[in-house]
Amino acid sequence: MPELPEVEVVRAGLDPAVTGATVLGVTVLDERALTRYSGSAAQFEAALTGRVVRSAARRGKFLWMPLQPGPDDAPAADALVAHLGMSGQLLLRTPGTAAERHERVRLDIQHPEHGEFTVVFADQRTFGSLTLDTLVPTPDAAPGGLGSPDATVPSQVAHIARDPLDPAFRDLEFRTTLARKKSAIKRVLLDQSVLSGVGNIYADEALWHSRIHPGTPASALSTRAVNRLLADVRGVLERALAEGGTSFDAQYVNVNGQAGYFAHSLNAYGRTGEPCPRCGRPIVRVSFMNRSSHYCAHCQPFDKRRDRSRPVS
């Protein structure tokens, strides 16, 4: 699944095109793209048409576009919410362009300065979705996510924790949570109720940088190790953002259809049998939570009794 960098690349590309834009029309080509929406395709189209988009916002892997209030007789909806799933794409196209391969939904919009655009939601595996949702207050009264100044978040995203790049993310709260968790540290990093946006790729990469074995109990990590790990999580995410995210195929692309190239900078994930960039020993892969973990057994030793991680040299 796309992780924080891939979704943020899409959000940043959409934002200037959709902020202040009016939805001229909506075409649902495949209702499977509306699995999280309780109404019909016709209701979805009617509820969005004529609405003005306020911005493009993101928390973790979730993306939403807050909407200005509609007419009094319009169906209630505060935001258009997108989840990219395994292969979802949000693409910007010029009006009248031919349908994209695997296109599911098309929004025609009019921006007051930049003119007309078409926003295409394409999804090969149909695990992604679009929906309309109400916005609810954030418990900490901080902005709901990057790209929106409002202290609100879609109700379907409210259970998702803040991500490590969010200015309102609380490091102390994260350290306190880890101290209570006996689960493997990688399992905790993937728990979107603890911190969001980190998936299999960036968890493996951050743990490699911190020299922490993915199976180490979270509660066994020292405060120093947790601080180092959080810094490495942020560093990996920021580097991936700078390189447009990680694309192993043509599925994870920006709004212009261009793939990211962080895959060339990976040190552990997907490098089974290749030499560790740090010590030269082979990267190993083990089964973990119906997926895989990649790490260096030499640089990331396992000791459930105490933290044996070391700072990166």
CB atoms within 10 A of CB 94: 9
CB atoms within 10 A of CB 294: 25
Whole-angstrom distance, CA of residue 31 vs CA of residue 37: 10
* Residue 182 annotated as catalytic: no
Is 102 annotated as a binding-site member?
A: yes
HSE (CB half, 13 Å, CA atoms) of 48? 31
Whole-angstrom distance, CA of residue 263 vs CA of residue 243: 9
Which candidate in 32, 224, 281, 291 is catalytic? 291
* Residue 278 annotated as catalytic: no
* Residue 282 annotated as catalytic: no
Q: Please name the residue ranges forming H helices in 127-184.
A: 171-180
Distance between first and last Cα of the chain: 31
* Residue 304 annotated as catalytic: no
Is 181 annotated as a binding-site member?
A: yes
Contact partners, residue 98, CB within 8 Å, separation at least 6: none
Helix (H) or strand (E) holding 250: none
Which candidate in 2, 143, 154, 217 is catalytic? 2
Burial of 67 (0-12, 13-18, 19+ CB in 10 A): buried
Region class of 222: left (phi > 0), else alpha (psi between -120 and 50), else beta: beta
Is 294 annotated as a binding-site member?
A: no
Which candidate in 11, 51, 54, 61 is catalytic? 61
Catalytic residue positions, numbered: 2-3, 61, 291
Which residue ranges make up the annotated binding site? 102, 125, 181
The binding site for DNA consists of 102, 125, 181
